[in-house]
Each structure stands twice: as structure tokens, then as C-alpha cells.
Amino acid sequence: MVNMNVEMGDLRALVAVAELGSFSAAARELHLSQPALSRRISKLESNLGVRLLERTTRRVELTATGREFARKARQVVNTFDESFMGIKEGTSTLRGEVTVACVPTAVHHCLLTVLTEYQRLYPRILVRVLDEGASDVLSTVARNEADFGINYIGVQEANLEFVPIFKERFVVACRRDHALASRRSVTWAELTRHDYIAVSKASGNRLLLDLALADVPDLPTAICEARHVRTVVDMVAAGLGVAAVPQLAIPPHLMRSELCAVPLIKPVLNRTSGLIKRRGRVLSPAAERLHQMILSSTANGQEAAGDR
């Protein structure tokens, strides 16, 4: 007769190992020692009377039975957590952790406002924001080091799901006293007549621009480069030149005081940011709630102001 003394902690242990593919990563996720995690898995296998994992020196793989049981275990864990969240909604006793990897532009555009409301509803849930460049955000989500991410690259990654949430236009960032500041629009060819600052090839924005402009004959040559678009904007504000940047990369306080954003044409280029997560990954209720709140706040893939 099978012993069905299965605890919720045992199910969480299996789900963590299944999703992260590593005992060490799962132990960190659950704040357990590796021996304690191994005991939970062994106890679960003993109670069920089946082998769920195949352990080697390098990796952990689920057996066929383990894959099916892990899927059902995740459903059980989520149902339990959702019920708990429903009972404790809006109280200070709810606990948990959510990790979001996010490019800095999206932090300011769509995450901060949502986090304010999320913290009000769930003040005891710790939200970790990993504000990184686009490539780092992509790899962090792909390695399961974040529950989900906000990024402008990843739509073509086979192992990731990409849900668009907002679009912004590339503009010329220039000082208010610059010759281009009074223009209604500027062509890429016209930028060749001005000191041009670019993001380096290490930037995700540079990748987008290089691909989109591959067939454009007249392009500006940079006199200065920086890895991060915010540094490029600061260089523009210092009077070093002009730059092609996503509109939301220009901080509002600089737009009000020092800089102008002039639409770029011939061609018009846009950058679409979206929510990314590992394909097939089922988010925890706490992460799913934040994910849905971000989607709701940016409903219908809203376009940034000036994206016309």
C-alpha cells in the first residue's frame, strides 16, 4: 500500500528542481540546504513508490513519471497558493518573493507605478528587480534566474515567450540650442552632417539599429560611443553631439529642461518591449499576479507618447 503522507514542501521541492534543473539552484530558491532538499525529494519518491529524478554528476533529469507528476504538482502548489492569496489579499501577513529582470527604460516607464500598487496589496512580498542591459535580461530569464522579464529583444528566441506591452519610436536626442531642435523631423542621412554619438556594439539597441538600417546607404559615423543608452543621453546633454535613441530613454526631467526629441524618418524605426518568460514555465501566484498587473497597466500594447 502506497504511503500518501505527501507534504506541500515536498511538492515545492520537486517543482523547483524540475523548473531549475539543478539541486543547488532549487535549494537557493527554496532557502534550503542541498541535503534538506534531497531528503524532501527522497521522501516524496518513497511515499509515491516511484522514481521521479535521474541524478548524474552533472545534471538532474526527470523521469517520464517525474515529468507528469511535476506538472500536476505545480498545479497543486499554485492552487494552494492562489487560495492563500485570496484569503490574505491586502493583508500584511502574505509573504513570498518575485524576481523581475528589466531593462532600465521599462523600469521607469511601466514598472515603478505597478510596483507601488503591488506593494500596497502585498507588502510582505519581496520583489527583486534586476535592472540590466537587454542581453543580460534575456540570459537571466533564459537561465530561470528571474520569474519573468521586460525586454525589447527575445521575440525570436525559441525557448522564450514574448508578449508585447508597449512601443516607442527612435528619435534624435539633441540639446534645445542645437540646429536640429526646431525641426519637425530628421532623416538618418541628415545626421551625417552632425557630431553623432552612438551606443556600442555591446548594446541591444545597437543590434536593433544595425539590423534595421542594413540597407540604408547614408548613415552617420560616430565620434563617440557608450555601452548604455542613458550614458549616450548624458553625453548629448553635455553638448558632445546628437544621438538616435528610443524616445523613452530620455528622462522626463531632461526633456523638460535641456533636451529635445525629434522624430527620425527615412526610415521610421520603432522598438517594441514585451514581457518575456521561459516557454512553458508556470509562474508562482505571486509572480503571476505581478505579471498580470503589468499587462493590465499597459493594455493593448500602448504606444509611447510621440510614437506617431
Q: Judge whether residue 184 has pLDDT over 80.
A: yes
How buried is residue 260: exposed, middle or buried, by Cβ count under 10 Å (0-12/13-18/19+)? Answer: buried
> For the whole model, what pTM was predicted?
0.69
Give the pLDDT confidence score for residue 26 in this predicted structure: 83
φ and ψ of 161, to 5 deg: -100, 135
Name 128's bridge partners: 99
Which range among 117-121, 196-200, 251-255, 283-287 shows the weakest confidence by mean pLDDT? 283-287
pLDDT digits (tens, 9 = 90+) for 37-81: 888 888 888 888 888 888 765 678 888 888 888 888 887 877 776
Q: What's the pLDDT tens digit per position in 214-268? A: 999 999 999 999 998 999 999 999 999 999 999 999 988 898 899 999 999 999 9
Domains and CATH numbers, the chain: 8-88 (1.10.10.10), 96-165+272-297 (3.40.190.10), 167-271 (3.40.190.10)
